[in-house]
């Protein structure tokens, strides 16, 4: 059997006499997207023949298919076609197209999409905010990304904060990542294991035992000290900052230890022994 274009198969569902539900269409689109190759020309031809549809779920899936196949131009033209046919983009559409603008390196497209997000009233959605932070952080600098966060109305989620902290670290600004984490905690935003491990990795880069201990205290307050990911990050931080005592105390408290935990504590003891003068 010849390979059938996933987008064509997915869109043909819309023309069925007994059209399936919106949810069923979405499931089938995903199936075709994962099991078949996409031929952009055929997809465009199928769009030309499809009836009007207000199912943003289907359009989102087609855009995701093109995005997954690195066909950024086709993803954008599909989005344009979606708008032309009067289908309103939703909180799942904009993140996909924002990812296209970031991956293709088009800041101008990203700014246009930002304006559309403002008009649609979805700028404060957690997914849209996160994609805007990544877009500006990669293409326009971390200051622009920080502006997006500062102007977001919903800052109780740690996701956006953590994305910006990772950008600071990636651009060799770990001290700013630590300051951002402290600002996040003071704002009352949620704290999770990912935000903690990101901040701890920044402490390792600047070799700051003081900041590392402060983050350890924050982990304790939020009941995440003994989360294995957080504990392992703290172990590494204490080792890198030269405090085998703090590392050992934490290690002894851990209810469960994995290979990383044992490797960290063993390496710490080896380093400590090597640093001692021979008798």
Please indicate, yes or no, whether residues 141 and 256 belong to a single structural domain of this protein: no
What is the spatial distance between Cα 96 and Cα 238, in angstroms, rounded to a whole number?
39
Where is the domain boundary, 154, 189, 218?
Answer: 154
Question: Is 186 contained in some domain?
Answer: yes
pLDDT score of 34 more than 70: no
- List, for residues 264-275, the tens digit of each pLDDT value: 899 888 877 665
Question: Is 229 contained in some domain?
Answer: yes
Please indicate, yes or no, whether residues 254 and 179 belong to a single structural domain of this protein: yes
Question: Is 226 contained in some domain?
Answer: yes
- Report the percent of the chain where pLDDT is more than 70: 78
pLDDT score of 16 more than 50: no
Q: Give every CB contact of residue 199 below 8 A, 6+ residues apart in sequence.
A: 165, 177, 178, 181, 215
Q: For position 157, what pLDDT does the model report?
A: 85
Please indicate, yes or no, whether residues 254 and 165 belong to a single structural domain of this protein: yes
Please indicate, yes or no, whether residues 143 and 254 belong to a single structural domain of this protein: no
Question: Is 25 contained in some domain?
Answer: no
Give me the mean pLDDT over the 85-98 stretch.
92
Please indicate, yes or no, whether residues 134 and 196 belong to a single structural domain of this protein: no
What is the spatial distance between Cα 21 and Cα 222, in angstroms, rounded to a whole number?
43
Confidence of residue 4 (pLDDT cuts 50, 70, 90): very low
- List, for residues 176-210, the tens digit of each pLDDT value: 999 999 999 999 999 999 999 999 999 999 999 99
pLDDT score of 214 more than 90: yes
pLDDT score of 49 more than 80: no
- List, for residues 139-158, the tens digit of each pLDDT value: 999 999 999 999 987 677 89
> What value does the CA radius of gyration of the chain take, rounded to a whole number of Å?
24
Confidence of residue 48 (pLDDT cuts 50, 70, 90): low
pLDDT score of 101 more than 70: yes
Alpha helices (H) along the chain: 6-12, 22-35, 40-49, 56-68, 72-84, 93-103, 107-120, 126-139, 142-150, 158-170, 174-187, 193-206, 209-221, 228-240, 244-253, 259-275
Question: Is 113 contained in some domain?
Answer: yes
Question: What region, left, alpha or beta, does residue 86 occupy, with left being phi > 0 and alpha being psi -120 to 50 degrees?
Answer: left
Give me the mean pLDDT over the 39-43 stretch.
49
pLDDT score of 102 more than 60: yes
Query: Is the dihedral angle over the CA atoms 172, 174, 180, 184 positive or is it negative?
Result: positive
The residue among 111 and 33 whose pLDDT is bigger is: 111
Question: Is 196 contained in some domain?
Answer: yes
pLDDT score of 112 more than 70: yes
| Residue the block writes with tokens 């989102």 | 60
Please indicate, yes or no, whether residues 107 and 172 belong to a single structural domain of this protein: no
Q: Give every CB contact of residue 247 below 8 A, 6+ residues apart in sequence.
A: 234, 235, 238, 239, 264, 265, 268
Q: For position 47, what pLDDT does the model report?
A: 52
Question: Is 30 contained in some domain?
Answer: no
Mean pLDDT of the chain: 83
Residues spanned by the domain of 125: 103-154
The tally of domains found in the chain comes to: 2
Q: For position 6, what pLDDT does the model report?
A: 37
Please indicate, yes or no, whether residues 143 and 186 belong to a single structural domain of this protein: no
Q: For position 234, what pLDDT does the model report?
A: 97
Helices 126-139 and 142-150, packing angle to 10 deg: 160
Confidence of residue 13 (pLDDT cuts 50, 70, 90): very low
- List, for residues 56-74, the tens digit of each pLDDT value: 898 999 999 999 999 999 9
């Amino acid at each position: 059997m010849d390979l059938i274009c996933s987008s064509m198969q997915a869109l043909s569902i819309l023309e069925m006499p007994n059209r399936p539900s919106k949810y069923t269409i979405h499931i089938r689109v995903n199936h075709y997207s994962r099991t078949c190759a996409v031929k952009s020309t055929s997809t465009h031809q199928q769009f030309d023949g499809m009836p009007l549809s207000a199912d943003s779920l289907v359009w989102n899936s087609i855009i995701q298919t093109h995005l997954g196949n690195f066909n950024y131009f086709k993803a954008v033209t599909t989005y344009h076609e979606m708008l032309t046919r009067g289908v309103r983009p939703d909180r799942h559409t904009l993140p996909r197209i924002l990812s296209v603008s970031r991956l293709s390196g088009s800041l101008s497209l990203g700014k246009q999409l930002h304006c559309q997000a403002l008009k649609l009233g979805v700028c404060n959605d957690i997914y849209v905010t996160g994609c805007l932070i990544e877009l500006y952080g990669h293409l326009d600098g971390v200051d622009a990304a920080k502006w997006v966060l500062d102007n977001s109305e919903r800052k109780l989620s740690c996701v956006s904060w953590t994305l910006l902290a990772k950008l600071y670290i990636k651009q060799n600004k770990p001290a700013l990542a630590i300051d951002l984490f402290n600002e996040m905690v003071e704002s009352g935003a949620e704290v999770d294991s990912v935000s903690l491990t990101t901040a701890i990795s920044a402490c390792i880069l600047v070799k700051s035992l003081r900041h590392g201990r402060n983050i350890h205290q924050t982990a304790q307050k939020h009941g995440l000290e003994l989360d294995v990911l957080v504990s392992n990050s703290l172990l590494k931080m204490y080792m890198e900052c030269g405090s085998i005592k703090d590392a050992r105390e934490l290690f002894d408290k851990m209810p469960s230890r994995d290979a990383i935990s044992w490797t960290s504590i063993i390496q710490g003891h080896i380093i400590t022994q090597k640093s001692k003068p021979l008798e």
